[in-house]
Each structure stands twice: as C-alpha cells, then as structure tokens.
C-alpha cells in the first residue's frame, strides 16, 4: 500500500512537511490550503459512504487508494469526526482473545504503524503501551490464559507482576489493603494512543486528494430501492443522491439507518462517557485499564488526565449519560491513583456507542443488495479505524466476504457463531 501514499489525485495538494511549515510561517499561517474541498453533492456516485467518522472516511480512502473507486461521496449529517471519532479516549491495542478478533484488530494495528506517513498527516500515534490490571487471583489466572492465547496469534503481550506495574506506573497505589488491590496485569507494548481528530482529518484530506467528495451537513433520511429491492440511492437533507453501492458506517445511529432500510440489527445504542482533568505535568506515560473497577486512565499531550468508564446501562441517543457513572469512575480513580484526588474535572462528555450482543462488530452485506453495514464496534472501535475501513472497502468494492471480515457477518447471530469478546471489550476499550 506504500504507493497509495503517493500524491497523484486531482486536487494536487502540496505535502505537509517542515519546509511547508517554514514557508507558511512567513505568511503568518494565513495561506494554508484547505485540507479538503466542500463540494455540492453530485446526482450520482459509484459508491456512497454514509457517516463521516474515522471508519467512514477510512472506507472512502481505501475505496479510492486500493480499489481505484474514486467517484465516491462521504455523507455526514453533522461535521466529520463529530461523532465517536472525536469523543473517544483513543486507546489502541490488538490483544483480543479470539482468533477472528485478533486478526481484525492486529490488521488495524499494523496499518496504524505506518499511517502517519501514508496519509502525510501527523496522527500523533504513540505506542506507549496499554496495561490491563488484575484485581483478584481469579482475574490474574484468567489473564495468564488470555496472554497465552494472544501470543499464539503472534501478538505481543506480557504478564506483569504488581512490582512491574508499579515500576511502569509510579503513581499507582499498590497497597494490598484497598478494596480492589492491584495483583498484577498484562501489557501490550505496541498499544497506545493517537490523536482522534487527526485520524478523521488525515483520512479526509487524503481521500479528498484522490477525488472523494466529503459532504457535511448532509443527513441520510431514506433509502431508494429498485424493482428487485436492490439499493439505488439515498434521500438526504440535501436531495436525492444515487448509487448502486452504499456502505453505512454510522456507529450509534446504525439501528436508525437499518430501520430506514427495512431490516433490524442486533444493536443497542448506549451512552459512553469520558472526562478529562485540568492539565498537569506529565505523571503517567502509558495507558492503564481496569475491567474490575470500570476505569481507565492516560495523559494527553496537553497534560489532561483522560479518564474513561463503562457504558450507561440504558438505551439512548442523547449523547449524554448519568452522573453516577462519573462518580463511580472518580471513586475508582482516587483509590488507585491517590494523587488525582484534588484535581478538578475540566469537562465530561458522552458519545452514543453501538453495542452488539457479543461485543464484536458487524462488517457485512445486508438483506438489501448493494447495501453494506459496518457497525457494532461499540465501546472499542477507534483502535480498529484503519483496519475496519480497509476491509469494509474491500467488501464494498468486490461484493464478496473479505477474509478478515468474513466472521463478522450479520448472519452469525442466526448460525450461533458469536465472537464473544466481553472479556476483552465489555468495559475496556
């Protein structure tokens, strides 16, 4: 895919580089070219992607760069990256239990490793390691088993003792007398974080460069089908747009789109909240998650502590959750990291995640010919963004199951071939 990185699109954008930075400094950074155009929608396209989050933009980019399908529109009801892409806590890892999940998340992680170069956009991808804590003897034993399974799939992961954890995370409280003592954990050193907005912007800029139309403020409100029930186009808030190949990548709103298309998804929309503290000096240079206390922590480059939690229990599209989740998460944070107790919370927010019964995604054809869905990533899809877009573009371009994505069909719920990742994904991201 190295050649996909070459700039040869119709817009002929100049590359970002240190020289470009210096040149633009001379004009007080007032003459930077727009990163993408804002074209009027055309009456028809070879392919349409509904949803301008990271996954949708990546899909469009790979349709253009890998499959040569460049007459593509991304339709976004708000602004690109304004959904979960811009709301998540940016944890990236591939240490999932089952072979199917390992394959798709590791595919994504390998793409992350070269993505800033390929897109010519600094995604601030930082492989600072991701630690998952064990708080009981049982959890530790289960973790050992998980680590062996993950290693058999060729994915880097190591068991940590309490002392190892303390060495990597000096601010952690390893007192064995606390309610949920740290009894060890495991780490994926290739895991880490990336700048979430940059992922949307980087893919958008690169896709635009290859001719993809990124159309914001354009909500899909219905689907058009031909006499045989195959897809023909979409109704949108900016008029009818036709295409015989449409992929929906709408995260929390996937069920709403499936309703419009006339079928059901095994998906429930739930709020997932996160918060950041006021910025402080660097105190933690890795990511630490804990499934038992539903809390995880990292530090942004600006110095804010980024804290995540589990989902709210109820269905919602309101992009907000309940205060008790935040109370619970902060209680856990204060016990595990006592130095945070006097920090102020800077802001909290929520996103709507598309949870699936087996905590695994759906990357699939649908009962409507020509209509594909990529959803169900729930609480943990940011890490999958490049891989998800890559395999979904392949499915859309060739209309046959992509080898990596094949297990993630909608049909699995009927056949019973669930890929139960609750242990790896239920709380953690």
Ligand X SMILES: Cc1cc2nc3c(=O)[nH]c(=O)nc-3n(C[C@H](O)[C@H](O)[C@H](O)COP(=O)(O)OP(=O)(O)OC[C@H]3O[C@@H](n4cnc5c(N)ncnc54)[C@H](O)[C@@H]3O)c2cc1C
How do strand 72-75 and strand 213-215 relate by DSSP bridges?
parallel
Q: How far is the CB of 256 from another protein (least distance, A)?
A: 5
Q: Is 235 one of the binding residues for ligand X (CB under 6 A)?
A: no
Closest CA to 112 of 95, 94, 130: 94
**316: phi > 0 → left, psi -120 to 50 → alpha, else beta; which?**
beta
Q: Is 255 one of the binding residues for another protein (CB under 8 A)?
A: yes
Q: Is 240 one of the binding residues for another protein (CB under 8 A)?
A: no
Binding-site partner at residue 222 among ligand X, another protein, none, CB < 5 to 8 Å by type? none
Q: How far is the CB of 312 from another protein (least distance, A)?
A: 9
Please, which of residues 160-219 interact with another protein by CB under 8 A?
none
Rank residues 183 and 368 by Cβ distance to ligand X and give the closer one. 368
Q: How far is the CB of 15 from ligand X (least distance, A)?
A: 25
Q: How far is the CB of 185 from another protein (least distance, A)?
A: 29
Q: Is 429 one of the binding residues for ligand X (CB under 6 A)?
A: yes
String marking each residue 312-351 x if it binds ligand X according to CB under 6 A: ---------------------------------------x
Q: Is 220 one of the binding residues for ligand X (CB under 6 A)?
A: yes
Report angle CA 409, 78, 200 to the nearest 5 degrees.
65
How do strand 130-133 and strand 231-236 relate by DSSP bridges?
unpaired
Binding-site partner at residue 32 among another protein, ligand X, none, CB < 5 to 8 Å by type? none
Rank residues 183 and 393 by Cβ distance to ligand X and give the closer one. 393
Q: Is 259 one of the binding residues for another protein (CB under 8 A)?
A: yes
Q: Is 77 one of the binding residues for ligand X (CB under 6 A)?
A: yes
Rank residues 73 and 267 by Cβ distance to another protein and give the closer one. 267
CB contact at 8 A, 242 and 43? yes
Interface segment toward another protein; rule CB under 8 A; list 26-34, 136-144, 226-234, 261-269:
261-269
Closest CA to 95 of 146, 22, 33: 146
Residue 37 burial (CB count, 10 A): 13
Closest residue to ligand X: CB criterion: 53
Rank residues 98 and 203 by Cβ distance to another protein and give the closer one. 98
Q: How far is the CB of 315 from another protein (least distance, A)?
A: 5
Q: Which residues contact 227 (CB under 8 A, 6 or more apart)?
A: none
Interface segment toward ligand X; rule CB under 6 A; list 6-14, 71-79, 202-210, 337-345:
71-79
- CA–CA separation, 417 and 243 (whole Å): 32
String marking each residue 350-369 x if it binds another protein according to CB under 8 A: -------x------------
Q: In which residue are the tokens 């799939």 written?
A: 153
Q: In which residue are the tokens 């600094």 written?
A: 122
Q: Is 256 one of the binding residues for another protein (CB under 8 A)?
A: yes
For the record, the structure tokens of 150 come out as 């993950």
Please, which of residues 395-424 interact with another protein by CB under 8 A?
413-416
Q: How many CA atoms lie within 13 A of 165 on its CB side?
A: 28
For the record, the structure tokens of 205 come out as 């800029």
Rank residues 94 and 329 by Cβ distance to another protein and give the closer one. 329
* Contacts of range 175-181, beta carbons closer than 8 Å, 24 or more positions apart: 178/335, 178/336, 179/335, 180/135, 180/290, 180/292, 180/293, 180/332, 180/335, 180/336, 181/135
**Alpha helices by DSSP H, 67-152:** 99-119, 137-152
Per CB under 6 A, the list member of 381, 386, 387, 407 interacting with ligand X is 381
- CA–CA separation, 292 and 332 (whole Å): 10
Q: Which residues contact 321 (CB under 8 A, 6 or more apart)?
A: 271, 272, 273, 311, 312, 350
List the beta strands (DSSP E) in 198-286.
213-215, 220-225, 231-236, 239-242, 246-248, 268-277
- CA–CA separation, 365 and 399 (whole Å): 8
String marking each residue 286-325 x if it binds another protein according to CB under 8 A: ---------------------------xxxxxx---xxx-
Where along the sequence are the contacts to ligand X (CB under 6 A)?
Answer: 50-56, 75-78, 82-85, 87-91, 219-220, 249-251, 253, 257, 272-274, 308, 351, 353, 377, 379-383, 429
Where along the sequence are the contacts to another protein (CB under 8 A)?
Answer: 253, 255-256, 259, 264-269, 313-318, 322-324, 357, 413-416
């Amino acid at each position: 895919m190295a050649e996909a990185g070459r700039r040869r699109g119709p817009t002929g954008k100049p590359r970002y580089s240190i020289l470009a930075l210096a040149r633009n400094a001379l004009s007080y950074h007032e003459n930077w070219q727009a990163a993408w155009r804002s074209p009027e929608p055309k009456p028809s396209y070879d392919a349409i992607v509904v949803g301008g989050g990271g996954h949708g933009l990546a899909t469009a980019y790979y349709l253009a760069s890998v499959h040569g399908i460049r007459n593509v529109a991304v339709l976004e009801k708000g602004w690109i990256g304004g959904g979960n892409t811009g709301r998540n806590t940016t944890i990236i890892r591939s240490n999932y239990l089952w072979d199917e999940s390992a394959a798709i998340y590791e595919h994504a992680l390998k793409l992350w490793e070269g993505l800033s170069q390929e897109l010519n956009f600094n995604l601030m991808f930082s492989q600072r390691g991701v630690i998952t804590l064990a708080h009981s003897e049982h959890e530790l034993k289960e973790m050992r088993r998980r680590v062996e399974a993950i290693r058999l799939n060729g994915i880097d992961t190591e068991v940590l003792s309490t002392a190892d954890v303390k060495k990597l995370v000096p601010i952690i409280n390893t007192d064995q007398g606390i309610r949920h003592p740290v009894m060890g954990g495991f780490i994926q050193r290739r895991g880490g974080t990336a700048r979430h907005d940059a992922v949307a912007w980087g893919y958008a800029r690169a896709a635009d460069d290859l001719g993809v139309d990124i159309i914001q403020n354009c909500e899909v409100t219905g689907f058009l089908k031909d006499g045989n029930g195959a897809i023909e186009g979409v109704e949108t808030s900016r008029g009818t747009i036709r295409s015989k190949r449409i992929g929906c990548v709408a995260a929390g709103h996937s069920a709403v789109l499936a309703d419009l298309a006339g079928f059901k998804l095994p998906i429930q929309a739930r709020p997932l909240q996160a918060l950041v503290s006021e910025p402080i000096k660097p105190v933690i240079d890795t990511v630490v998650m804990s499934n038992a206390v539903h809390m995880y922590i990292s530090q942004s480059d600006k110095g804010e502590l980024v804290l995540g939690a589990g989902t709210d229990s109820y269905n919602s599209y309101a992009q907000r959750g309940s205060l008790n989740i935040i109370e619970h998460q902060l209680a856990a944070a204060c016990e595990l990291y006592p130095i945070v107790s006097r920090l102020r919370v800077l802001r909290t927010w929520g996103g709507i995640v598309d949870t699936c019964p087996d905590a695994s995604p759906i990357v699939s054809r649908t009962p409507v010919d020509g209509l594909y869905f990529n959803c169900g990533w729930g609480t943990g899809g940011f890490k999958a963004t490049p891989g998800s877009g890559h395999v979904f573009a392949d499915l859309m371009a060739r209309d046959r199951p992509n080898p990596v994505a094949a297990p993630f069909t909608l049909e699995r719920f009927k056949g019973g071939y669930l890929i139960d990742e609750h242990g790896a994904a239920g709380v953690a991201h």
